[in-house]
Amino acid sequence: MDFRKGFLCYGFNFEELLILKTEIMGQAKFEIEKSSNDKFYFNLKAGNGEVILTSQMYGGKQSCENGISSCLLYTSPSPRDS
């Protein structure tokens, strides 16, 4: 099942995408962090709190949020989730 078209067609905002993807992914969540050099990055954490993905560094928080949005828009659930 591919949710990308629905997300793009209906123009969901960042918070709505997080809510929708959380419903699809279960307890996994994105967390934005600020590094010691004042750059932003995000971690994707599994339901048990384990970091399963760390992003590249971004110059600003908005860019980091855009990176999360890309992950939300351009990924689909695992075939085992259908």
Cα–Cα dist 68/71, whole Å: 5
For the stretch 39-50, pLDDT in tens is 999 998 877 788
Q: Is the pLDDT of residue 28 over 50?
A: yes
Find, among 10, 13, 1, the residue nearest to 68 by Cα: 13
Contact between residue 36 and residue 43 where contact means Cβ atoms under 8 Å apart: no
| pTM of the predicted model as reported, rounded to 2 decimal places | 0.65
pLDDT band at 24 (very low <50, low <70, confident <90, very high): low
d(CA 7, CA 19): 12
Each residue's pLDDT tens digit, 39-82: 999 998 877 788 888 999 999 999 999 998 888 777 665 454 44
More confident residue, 59 or 2: 59
Domains and their CATH numbers in the chain: 4-77 (3.30.160.160)
